[in-house]
Amino acid sequence: AQKITQTQPGMFVQEKEAVTLDCTYDTSDPSYGLFWYKQPSSGEMIFLIYQGSYDQQNATEGRYSLNFQKARKSANLVISASQLGDSAMYFCAMREAGTNAGKSTFGDGTTLTVKP
Amino acid sequence: NAGVTQTPKFQVLKTGQSMTLQCAQDMNHEYMSWYRQDPGMGLRLIHYSVGAGITDQGEVPNGYNVSRSTTEDFPLRLLSAAPSQTSVYFCASRRGLTGELFFGEGSRLTVL
């Protein structure tokens, strides 16, 4: 069963504006990690940001921040001051513990297009 | 730093042929995994390994075989290629069970 849901197949944002990419997840494990990866048109996978389930504060990495709402099981990626180079596919992923230790499950992705 | 290296980057096979996708990492990572990515979709886990000599199935293991004889290498074998295996394959590694995945550049496989 799909454990990561990204409901926005495609998003558009104007250059220099902020954009939020949605991600919801499903797990019964109290210990898990949430990740966002970027895949440009060239195809490589680039790690952006990580949030642990026990982290008290939302993760931030430069222009990227993760809006972690544990009770709602959401982990939205916020990109501030969008740049043309942010145009890419973005994947939310979850790493569980317990019997699924080490496995990472990916959502279907959101294609972000930044308009000049 | 080489990171995760996959070969070949492109391959065309005929139905029924077998082949091996190679994956090597030089970061001494315990965890290695293989994913496939179909057009417009996310990554689906094929097989993974938490250390040398240990492998396990992921979400879509049928038609694929793996082994992990060393920490560095994690080859993926297609036993009898089918058109449904046309995809882009990514190898990834991670130190331990936590932390981010480090990906190879991907291998684009076409099965005719």
Which residues are within 8 A (CB) of B81 and not within 5 positions of it... i.e. 6 or more apart? B13, B14, B15, B16, B17, B18, B19, B109, B111
Partner residue opposite B98 with nearest CB, options A6, A33, A108: A33
Residues from chain A contacting residue B23 (CB–CB below 8 Å): none
What pLDDT score does B1 carry?
65
Task: Name the pLDDT band for B98 (thresholds 50, 70, 90).
Answer: confident
What pLDDT score does A103 carry?
82
Residue A43 Cα to chain centre, angstroms: 17
- Does A91 contact chain B (CB < 8 Å)? yes
Q: Smallest CA–CA separation between A96 and chain B, in Å?
A: 9
Task: Give the residue from chain A lying closest to B94, CA to CA.
Answer: A102
Instruction: Report CB contact under 8 Å: A108, B92.
Output: no
CA separation for the pair B59, A21 (Å, rounded): 25
What residue type is A89 in one-letter code?
M
What pLDDT score does A96 carry?
81
